[in-house]
Amino acid sequence: MVNWDPAGKTAVSDEEVIRKEVNQKLYYIKYLVAGSNDFLTIATTRPETIMADAAICVNPNDERYLYLKGKTVFVPLINREIPVIEDEYVTMDFGTGCLKVTPAHDLNDYELGIKHKLPVIDILNDDGTLNDLAVILVGEDRFAARKKIAVLLDEAGHLDKVDDYKSQVGFSERTDAAIEPKLSLQWFCKMDEMAKPALEDVLNGDVKLIPEKFVNTYRHWMENVRDWNISRQLWWGQQIPAWYGPHDILSGTETDSSSSDSLKVSAQHVEIAKTRVEAEILFTNHYKKSNLIYSDETIKNQLKHIYQDPDVMDTWFSSWLWPISVFDGFKNPDNKDINYYYPTNDLVTAPEILFFWVARMIMAGHEFRGQKPFTNVYLTGIVRDKLGRKMSKSLGNSPDPIGLIEKYGADGVRVGMLLCSPAGNDLMFDESYCEQGRNFANKIWNAFRLVKGWEVDGNLENPNQQAILWFENRFNEALAEIEDNFKQYRLSEALMACYKLVWDDFCAWYLEMIKPDYQRPIDADTIKATTGFFKKILTLLHPFMPFLTEELWHDELFGHKDEMDCCIVANYPVSKATDAQLLKEVEVIKGLIAEIRNVRNTKQITLKESLPLAIKLNSSLGYEKWLNIVFKLANISQVEFVNDKIPGAVAFLVGNDEFFIHLNESIDVDAERERLSADLVYLEGFLRSVNAKLSNERFVQNAKPDIIQNERNKKADAEGKIKIIEESLAVLG
């Protein structure tokens, strides 16, 4: 009993059947009990198959039907007599408690038929139409026959009622035709023993599914695996290498080569061979070993009747050999390629073929090579539109990729796709992501043009040592994060880390720190360090943006004169240790510059106007070595370190240090008091939440030490800021 696709006219495996809940009708049909005027009512969703009924089954414990033991009933419309049988398989409280048994058209009925030795009457053709065994409605499609037979039953007084009913129906994954259970001679691959090592590989981590949420799905499939129907009745594919011929020549069995069904029925002997020549040798040896003595001429004549099975393999039956066959591992099992590449590291595929392909490749690896085919399986998501709908031609919601490339560039589209593709989750595609990718490419291109446009003066001293030192540390910090994301297959997170490094740190901060004044040259040391950073950035970005990075790589700015010196084969950077204190200091300096710019925006002061800055230190940070950057990016005229607050100046906090800008104008005391009071309320609330965590014994006992220490640092920082704000409020009165 197989899953038959009447549209494709082929068997399909269980995994290719998609279960859907559909609205149906439940038909209550009356069967006349032989020798009486009583009727037995049966509920079924498939009245068109009653002509194939072999019995009516009731539960032996059902007192309603004890009187039917040993009785027979007549199939409505065709009046064929069938027995009433008893089996506990029947559910007494579903429908009427009676079950029509149709062995040829239901898997469970087929099992009942075998158990009770019932005849099998197949009334359906391969295309889903009724054949001559149906007696009535011959040639009608099964669904058309369902409607017509309901009318005939009603007219004949055999239809009691019809109810609306919802149930699960299987549909072919390829043609979307309703699957028909059908008896058919097919080839199967026994799976239970093959599945065990493939399941163990995933459960013990030898093969890692990414993300891990798919492990339970995989385990469910593998623990409930069925034998695999590998034959298909199609015109394309790899023909099954099975050859049929008469077992006993003297039987005089002649076969009709025009009918595959009659061939299969009459065939008595099977040989497995790649070619007809090989098959003839095998059949000849078989005949010569027979107890009967055949002449060479007789054998030669009979070999004309052997034929190859017309079916082809399921496409996955060839695909599961891919990791081995791609390296010629079957014809040449010890060649250098398969010895080097097998098993490979990573497989990237879709979760919907996790069982179809991935599990079967692991099985084949153990069966034919004695080991797994790969270590990591990265499972991508389904591309959906921003409304969450799966992209499809029928919905018309799938963009033209060529059009996107023409509009945003190939690298822009790649970045757009990767920005919305977390591992294993569906991709909610929005064209705005591609626009973001294009803007990112433009940012890189403009940064390149800026650096290339600088005039270099070899006599100048390097004033940017701190900026260079900072970005070197920041690059290594970001690279460590990117490496960790790659190790965990978080590709979109790795891209976002690259994005922030380039957009924020390199373009918005580093290039601004080192940029020479208008129409002034830059020193040689700074340009050398900057082009070195830029080259490393290109190698980081190359997996995500191969076209732009390769184009820039070959520019004279980077000194690659050999045309084979390409970005694609350049060494990927390796992260080095970072100076955490230096990175922390720069974050404070960046915060200081941002606050000064905020004062300018609030007071509507242009960047051209220099401002004086006073600093009241409450920390040990050495501002002196960073002041040239503050002067340059915030346009500060002078810096003064003070011990007391400056009345009448605009004040703000960065970390625990206090800063003052005197604007030679009176400040709005009420507005300043309101601002500080709001900050105080926020910090007090924040401090309460931190104290609540630290006073929670379960948190302190179970949290990692670094997390607890981080909370304590937050507490100390908040307490210091609260003290400073309270002092400032006291000064304001």
Which range, of 82-96, 249-263, 451-465, 625-639, averages the lowest pLDDT?
249-263
**The domain spanning residue 441 has which CATH number?**
1.10.730.10
Looking at the fold, whether 178 and 37 belong to one and the same domain comes out as: yes
Of 278, 295, 310, at which residue does a domain stop? Answer: 310
For residue 693, give Cα distances in angstroms to 234, 574, 712: 66, 38, 10
In a shared domain, residues 298 and 429: no
How does DSSP classify residue 453?
A: T
Asked whether residue 31 falls in the same domain as residue 173, the answer is yes
- Top mean pLDDT of 59-68, 501-510, 591-600, 693-702 is at 501-510
Let me know whether 263 and 341 are in one domain: no
pLDDT in tens, 720-730: 778 778 777 77
Domain assignment present for residue 396? The answer is no
Q: CA-CA distance, 724 to 172, in Å (whole number)?
A: 71
Q: What is the pLDDT of residue 304?
A: 87
- Mention every residue, 6+ apart, whose C-beta is less than 8 A from residue 427: 380, 381, 382, 383, 384, 417, 420, 421
Does 63 share its domain with 161? yes
pLDDT at 404: 93
Residue 573 lies in a domain: yes
Chain centroid, CA 272 distance in Å: 39
Residues 357 and 442 in one domain: no
Residue 265 confidence (pLDDT) above 60? no
Residue 597 falls within a domain, yes or no? no
| Type of residue at 683 | L
In a domain, 389, yes or no: no
> What's the pLDDT tens digit per position in 280-317?
999 988 888 776 666 788 888 888 889 999 999 998 99
Tell me the pTM. 0.69
Q: Is the pLDDT of residue 668 over 80?
A: no
Q: Which of these three, 271, 286, 310, is where a domain ends?
A: 310
How do residues 409-423 score in pLDDT, each as one tens digit?
999 999 988 888 776
Between 190 and 249, whose confidence is greater?
Answer: 190
**Domain assignment of residue 199, yes or no:** yes
pLDDT at 107: 87
- Least confidently predicted of 44-58, 288-302, 344-358, 700-714: 288-302
Q: How many domains does the chain have?
A: 5
pLDDT band at 7 (very low <50, low <70, confident <90, very high): very high
* Residue 36 and residue 152 in one domain: yes
Residue 157 has pLDDT above 60, yes or no: yes
Q: What is the pLDDT at residue 80?
A: 94
Element housing 312 (H / E): strand 312-313
pLDDT given at position 289: 79
Query: How confident is the model at residue 624, as a pLDDT?
Result: 92
Return the higher-pLDDT residue of 74 and 653: 74
Q: Tell me the Cα Rg of the chain.
A: 39
Q: What is the mean pLDDT of residues 201-221?
A: 93
* pLDDT surpasses 80 at 256: no
Question: Which tens digits make up the pLDDT trace of 559-587?
Answer: 877 878 899 999 999 999 999 999 999 99
Residue with tokens 């019809």: 162
Assess whether 646 and 699 both reside in one domain. yes
Host domain of residue 406 = 401-412+423-578
What residue type is 31 in one-letter code?
Answer: Y
Return the CATH number at 169: 3.90.740.10
CATH of the domain at 704: 1.10.287.380
CB atoms within 10 A of CB 68: 20
With 90 as the cut, is the pLDDT of residue 50 above it? yes
Percent of the chain with pLDDT over 90: 62
Q: Look at residue 393 and tell me if it is in a domain.
A: no
Based on the domain organization, do 542 and 447 belong to the same domain? Answer: yes
Q: Are residues 534 and 427 in the same domain?
A: yes
Residue type, 360: R
Token representation of residue 510 = 């580093």
Q: Which of 559, 578, 597 is the C-terminal boundary of a domain?
A: 578
**Strand 39-44 and strand 17-33: pairing?**
antiparallel
Q: Where are the alpha helices (DSSP H) in 580-637?
A: 580-603, 627-634
95 shares a domain with 27? yes
Q: Which residue type, as a one-letter code, is found at position 667?
A: I
Report the alpha-carbon distance of residue 87 to residue 91 in Å, rounded: 10
The answer on 179 and 113 residing in a single domain is yes
Task: Return the higher-pLDDT residue of 704 and 577.
Answer: 577
Decide if 555 is inside a domain: yes
In order, the DSSP letters of 107-139 are HHHHHHHHHHT------B-TTSBB-GGG-SSTT
- Residue 420 — φ and ψ, nearest 5°? -115, 30
> Does the N-terminal peptide bond of residue 343 adopt cis geometry, omega within 30 degrees of 0?
yes
Residue 719 lies in a domain: yes
